[in-house]
Structure formats: C-alpha cells, structure tokens
Amino acid sequence: MLKKTLKYLRKRVDFTGLEVHWLSSDDRVDGPKLDNAACRAFIEEMGLFEYCYFPETNQGFGGVINYMYRQVKTPYVLHMEHDWKFFRHIALRPLIEIMEAHPEITCIRFNKKITKAAPRLFWLDEPARQKQFGPYILTETRSWTTNPTLYRTSHMLQALPIDDCKDSERSMKANLSALGFRSYSLGRPAETYVKHLKGMKGGRY
C-alpha cells in the first residue's frame, strides 16, 4: 500500500515552488504479518527520503508523532500515512499561502467522505463556517485527523508531547483543541479528495 500511496501522492499533489523534504518512519515491528526488513529496504532504495526513522521496537502512534515532528525543519508538514490515495489534484503552494496569511489556521485537511453535517466533525450551521480565500473554500471543523492533512509545524510542536498509549491519537486531538487551534477542511463538506486504500464506510470522514 505504501507504494501505491507514494505513486498517487507524487502524481496528484503539486509541490511546485516549495522547498520539500521527505521524512519517513516504519515503527511497528511487532506485527505477525509485517515484513519490516522488506519495507525498510523499499523505503531506502527509493532514494526519496532524506530522513528515515527505523526503531528496533514498536513505538506506537504517540511515540512516532513525538519524535518525527521534532525532526521537521520546514514550517508546514503534509502528514501522510501509508494507506491513502489522492484521487484529485492538489496544489500545495496556494494552500500554504492561505495559511501564511491567516496564522489562526492550524491545518487544512483533505476530505475522505462527508455527505452531510456531522455533529462531531462539522457544526450543523456548516455553510456559515465556509470561508472564501480567493478561488478556494475552507470549512472550519470541530475535529483533527491524521488522515492526509497539511499541518502548521509550530502548532503541532506546541501540542507535544502526546500520550504514548493506545489512545494517543485522541491525546493529540485533545491537546490541539485545548490550545485553541483551528482546523479547516478543503472545500465544502461534500467535496472529497482522498480515499483510504482499505475502503471506507459510508458517512465517515
């Protein structure tokens, strides 16, 4: 799945005009069906990644986030996991320019599937939360995600460390919310940009 994710990332995400550094981690080493040696060899043989984090023990989501974000040297991060596919073209530079002009925006997330207002994700008055930025519409959301998302590095660093436990993703979201940061989604709620390679359930982000 990582190979397909990278294929569509490089095919459909436009990095023109940006200084891009590629970082990768392969941290789960205790799965009975995982071939870490083959995966890590593939990552290294690509010659794409400037920095790779290959710990000898399973770090978990929290451990990886706490470590990897401290290695970032750029003001923004396109956060990706290994099993996502962009199916619409995205130009990152215009989105970063929006974030540069609006420091209150912590992240711009890319929708998987939203068919209607969902209380835990969008306010029910979501049209009022839509804002026009030149040709782009961003919709403010209630939630945070590790799905494909453009994050502001400085805000993420303020949210660290997150708990290194089975609920570490929830800990990350709670920390970001507690700091008063603001999450936006690209486009209107019904507009989708990415698909999960393992499939997706109706109505879920």
The structural domains of the chain, with segments of one domain joined by +, span 2-196
pLDDT of res. 205: 45
Sort 163 into a burial class: Cβ within 10 Å, 0-12 / 13-18 / 19+: middle
CATH topology of domain 2-196: Spore Coat Polysaccharide Biosynthesis Protein SpsA; Chain A (3.90.550)
Neighbours of 140 (CB within 10 A): 17
Q: Output the six-digit token pair for 111.
A: 């929708």
Pair type for strands 182-186 and 105-109? parallel
pLDDT of res. 121: 62
C-beta contacts of 44-47 below 8 A and 24+ residues apart: 46/6
For the chain (205 residues), the mean pLDDT of every run of 10, in chain order, is 91 96 88 83 94 91 94 97 93 98 96 63 67 92 88 97 87 94 87 81 46
pLDDT of res. 150: 98
Going by C-alpha positions, the residue among 202, 189, 203 that lies closest to residue 124 is: 189
